[in-house]
Every structure is written in structure tokens, then in C-alpha cells.
Structure 1
Amino acid sequence: MTDKVLSTRWFGMALQSLIVLAENEGLCPSGKIAEKLDYKSAFLRKILTHLVKAGLIQAKEGRDGGYSLMKEPADITLAEVYDAMKAELFPKGFLDVSSKECFAPSTRVALFELRDEMESWIVQGLEQKTIADLLVEKTTLK
């Protein structure tokens, strides 16, 4: 993946934003989402911009504007959100081997391949879950 954001925190914030939108009827202003999630509006809008570009949400500008889902929650996979955020899954340097003396070139390549394979496992798991899977029925809340 290219253009990865700095952390998986963005991915988590994107998921939470989508849950708020899924539970909201009609347009939801970024200020309302930010208030519910205790985020700063300006930072949240950066995240929402990625979701708009990915076609997961739509934005209406202006005084009566806000954001809304482009698809049903059951049709938005967590892999789509991950891809929209291009989250860096592992910390910088994870399984990177800088010492050329410590490992043979084939071992270094194997470690890089393992990191990529681990990411594909996670993405495959994210493909199995949707935003709807994260929603809690209001009747079960106490």
C-alpha cells in the first residue's frame, strides 16, 4: 500500500465515525460527530475526507450540511475502511532487518515477506466484518 497514514489510530477513528453515521438519521455535521467521539473537528474532517474519497460517505457543504453513509452499514466492509485510511498496520521497522551481518539475505527477504503475509491475513479478516457487525441494538443497551 502507498500513502499510508501514521497509525492505525486513524483506522479506529474512521470506524467510530462510520458507526456514529450509521446510528444517525440524515446528515450529521462533523461537529456533532466530533462531540460524540471527543475528537477535534478539524482533525476529524481529515479522516472524513479519506472516507469521502473512498465513496463510503458523502459530504454536503453549507449551513445545513454534514455527512452520511453512501451504503448500508452491512455493505461496508472493514477492509474497505482499512483501505480508505491506508493505515500502517505495523509499527515502523516491524520485521525490518537493518543488520546485514546478522542474517543471510534470504532470511531478510523471508522476514519482509512474513510482514506482508501478516497484513494480508488481517485484511482477509477485515473483509469478513462490516460496519453493521459493530452496531449494537439500542434495546440491548442498559
Structure 2
Amino acid sequence: MDFVKEGNSVSPRWFGLALQALVILMDSDHVCSSTSIADNTNAGVTFMRRVMAPLVKANIVKAREGRDGGYLLAKPANLIKLSEVYRALQVSNPLSAALDESLDENFPHRQDLCPVFAQIAERAEEQILKLLDEYTVADLANAQSRQP
């Protein structure tokens, strides 16, 4: 399975699917079912429900249960910052894990490299959040519509 949940964080791919779902919801004038969202993102229905759950918990999306249930935005798309979505999903930091997972326990410089790399990864994460804070779901959708 491509989409791995590790502890309380998720793969960065969840972020991309969540953004796609939010654009779909923004473009819809009614409640969208998880089946509809899944069909439009080429993801499984159950998987999309798992992606949407943290967005509901963070009050980015509202969920309506029942036969005619589904999802809708909890607030206008121009008020949903991409950093808010990123935080709601608790996206794992692939940089910090990359070095730790790739280093053999017997690598002679492991003890020296790990703390330094963790600091670099933390600063990179701060910059990612700072950049994502500058854009909203509406910005993302509008930029998409301007593409040639």
C-alpha cells in the first residue's frame, strides 16, 4: 500500500489527496459523497474517508451522515490555509526520517550526523509551514484554472 500511516503522522501523499478533495468540495454546490471524492481522486472510498477524518476533526470539513451524506467545506476555501491542512493531517517529516532510516547502526558517524540532520530537517519543516501559510485552497484552485 502506497499510503502509509506511521504512528500519529501520515505520508505526504495524504496531503496531496486532501488538497484535491478540498478543491472538489470547493467546486461543488452540494454535499459530496466519499465515493464521489474517491472517484475524482483515483483513491479508494475507505481510504478517502481516512484522509477526510482529520480534516473533519480540525473543522476544515463538515461530515454529514446518512444515505445522502458526505462532505462539505466548513468555511470558505479562501479561508483554509494549506498550512492548516498540513497540520491537521500531521504529515510526517520525510527529511528527518530519511537519514535515520538509511543509516546503518554501525555507521561510524551515525551519532554525529543524526542530531545535525534533525536540526536541518526541523528548519526545513518550519520553512514548509511558512510557505504553506501563504496559500489557501482557493489560491490552489485558482492557480490550477489558470494553467494552459
| TM value normalised by structure 2 | 0.82
Number of aligned residue pairs: give it. Answer: 139
Do residues 45 (structure 1) and 52 (structure 2) align?
no
Give the counterpart of 1:130 among 136, 143, 148: 136
In 2, Cα distance between the equivalents of 1:12 and 1:67? 17
Describe the SS at the equivalent of 1:59: strand
Report if the CA contact (8 A) 1:95-1:115 is conserved. Answer: no
Gap regions ≥5 residues in structure 1: none
| Counterpart residue type for residue 123 of structure 2 | E
Q: Measured at CA, do residues 95 and 141 of structure 1 come closer, stay the same or move farther in structure 2, by a change above 3 Å?
A: closer
What corresponds to 1:112 in structure 2? 118
Structure 2: unaligned runs, 5 residues or longer:
1-6
The match for 1:14 is 18
Structure 2 residue 80 is the aligned partner of structure 1 residue 73: no
Q: Percent identity?
A: 33
Match of 2:8 in 1: 3
Please, which moves more after superposition, 88-97 or 110-119? Answer: 88-97
Q: As a proportion of its length, which structure holds more helix?
A: 2
2: CA distance, partners of 1:90 / 1:37? 23
- The Cα shift of 1:104 comes to 6.5
| Alpha-carbon RMSD | 2.5
| TM superposition score normalised by structure 1 | 0.85
Aligned to 1:83: 87
